[in-house]
Amino acid sequence: MFRKGARRERPARQIRSKRMEIDFMKLLRCVALTLLVAGSIVYAVSFSFAIDKKPEGAGIFREKCSMCHGIDGKGYAAIKTPDFTDPKWQAAHPDKELRNAIENGVPGTAMVSFEGKLSKEQMEDVLKYIRSLGAAKKK
């Protein structure tokens, strides 16, 4: 029937199907490689911007202030912390007062001093973030 070493003929449909399968796999590899390279570039660029960026007030606020003032800055009535999103509260408290409260704390309250714990620049970032909470509610 078949001689040893003789090539078997494949039907044309099988050959076309195999070629299409190989072409499809090549296409998938190209797409995967393209996405991998694009993702790597986006990651590298975003990482380089993150390195240049100074810590922002939102991150510091989340880390140091949110346990008493709430993650959203609305405060907690039970412990009498202010609602930083309230435009009336924002208008009633000048930057100098807030800067002093952050740096030195507020006597007779749970508000502690951040002098020596945060740099002046970080305190300014937190102050700007607190002000942005009031601006968000005005819109």
Q: What is the pLDDT of residues 31-41, one digit of tens each?
A: 888 988 888 88
Query: For the chain, what is the mean pLDDT?
Result: 84
pLDDT value at residue 55:
53
pLDDT exceeds cutoff 80 at 133: yes
Q: What is the pLDDT of residues 53-80, one digit of tens each?
A: 545 899 999 999 999 999 999 999 999 9
Residue 45 pLDDT grade (very low, low, confident, very high; cuts 50, 70, 90) = confident
Return the percentage of the chain with pLDDT > 70, whole number: 82
Residue 53 to residue 42: CA distance in whole angstroms: 17
Token pair 């800055």 is found at: 73
pLDDT value at residue 2:
55
Residue 99 to residue 122: CA distance in whole angstroms: 11
**Least confident segment among 76-85, 90-99, 130-139:** 130-139
